[in-house]
Amino acid sequence: MRTNRHAVVLMSVLCLAVTGAVTGCATDGSTGGGGGGGSLASNLGSSLMEKVTGDWNLSKLGSESVNQILRKPGVQAAPRMAIAKDGKVNGFAGVNQFFGNLDLGQLAQGNFPLGAMGSTKMAGPPASMDLEQQFLSALSSVRSFDAASLADGVLSLLGDNGQELMRFVRPG
């Protein structure tokens, strides 16, 4: 069987290009892709990444503890959040699921910039919907975090002037 040498070379180049695109290879040797996973996460230092990533349960929203929030009639569950090593953020806001991305490069500088967030759009009891609206509003106002609180297993998220908007703790 006779093969066309140019066709074989072209197919090899295409396979390499597709493989590079799928695996996110960049010409500088770092991994490509949005949100700054891979090499950027390793630049943050494993200690900070281990402390920030994982599951978090809301323990305080504004001045209210989660126990106060859960005693309100119609509130069925407290919000929670998970942060992945690649910067993806998702969780439960009170009725609906939310999702977005955290800029890992800014995290290393003490900032906590969440990009545009999305959520599912189900309706729920009025008190749970109010909680969700307060939670998502506070989450969109977060600008930084208290790195010292991480040593105690607490993620304290802060607003523009450094005031605590919300506090999370590890489950369990």
**pLDDT tops 90 at residue 121:** yes
Residue ranges per structural domain of the chain: 5-32, 50-169
Q: Residues 8-65: pLDDT tens digits? A: 333 333 333 333 333 333 333 333 334 444 444 444 556 777 899 999 999 999 999 9
Report which DSSP code applies to 139: H
pLDDT the model gives residue 33: 39
Which has more confidence, 95 or 105?
Answer: 95
Which has more confidence, 8 or 107?
Answer: 107
Q: Contact, 5 vs 12, CB < 8 A?
A: no
- Average confidence (pLDDT) over 101-118: 89
**Beta partners for residue 144, in sequence order:** 111, 158
CATH, domain range 50-169: 2.40.128.270
Q: What is the bridge-based pairing of β-strands 88-92 and 97-101?
A: antiparallel
Q: Contact, 56 vs 83, CB < 8 A?
A: yes
